[in-house]
Amino acid sequence: MANKVKLDHVDRRILKDLQADGRMTNVELAKRIGISAPPCLRRVRALEDQNVIRGYHADVNPDALGYSVMVFAFVGLNSQAETDLQEFEALVHDWPEVRECHMLVGETDFILKFVAHDWDHFQQFLTSKLTPAPNVSHVKTALAIRSNKDQPGVPIDADSAE
């Protein structure tokens, strides 16, 4: 577990606003929060240095690039020894179509979020990479029909401080 960072209300406002719009300028961010630009930038840099802000990215529309299929794969492994778990995670890391990988507690060891151009693309991945991967005992899949919420980050109460 990572150490929880102590944040005041200004830090939380910075995080909330940047999470909603990571492209806003430091001047605009400072204006929204009600502080001047230099201390705002220092706070943003400190949040980056503390790994509270892990990076910035563009929210790309998958359909615009032809990725119209999203599948969740529930993967069970033969062994849950730490080295086997790490080997599976390293393998998954090299598959660009797998956009998320989460280790779970319970019957399923991992859930993967996979994007594909079409069902055949996913089937090819499933039969040539995922199911024959070392240590994989079983895979169950669920095709996403639609998504109505895809919100990055975490909920931030900008009015509280911890």
**Looking at the domain that runs over 9-49, which CATH code has it been given?**
1.10.10.10
Q: How many CB atoms lie within 10 A of CB 113?
A: 15
Work out whether strand 110-116 and strand 98-103 pair parallel, antiparallel, or are unpaired. Answer: antiparallel
Q: Please state, in angstroms and rounded to a whole number, the distance separating the CA atoms of residues 94 and 125.
A: 13
Q: Please state, in angstroms and rounded to a whole number, the distance separating the CA atoms of residues 65 and 61.
A: 7
Q: Please state, in angstroms and rounded to a whole number, the distance separating the CA atoms of residues 152 and 19.
A: 8
Structure tokens of 128?
A: 């040539």
Q: How many residues does the chain have?
A: 162
**Looking at the domain that runs over 62-143, which CATH code has it been given?**
3.30.70.920
Q: Is 24 helix (H, G, I), strand (E, B) or coil?
A: coil
Q: What is the pLDDT of residue 1?
A: 44
Q: Where are the beta strands (DSSP E) in 11-106?
A: 69-77, 98-103
The domains of the chain are located at: 9-49, 62-143
Q: What is the pLDDT of residue 116?
A: 96
Q: Give the DSSP H or E segment for 91.
A: helix 82-93
Q: Please state, in angstroms and rounded to a whole number, the distance separating the CA atoms of residues 11 and 144.
A: 36
Tens of pLDDT, residue by residue, the chain (162 residues): 456 788 999 999 999 999 999 999 999 999 999 999 999 999 999 999 999 999 999 889 999 999 999 999 999 999 999 999 999 999 999 999 999 999 999 999 999 999 999 999 999 999 999 999 999 999 999 999 998 988 888 999 887 656
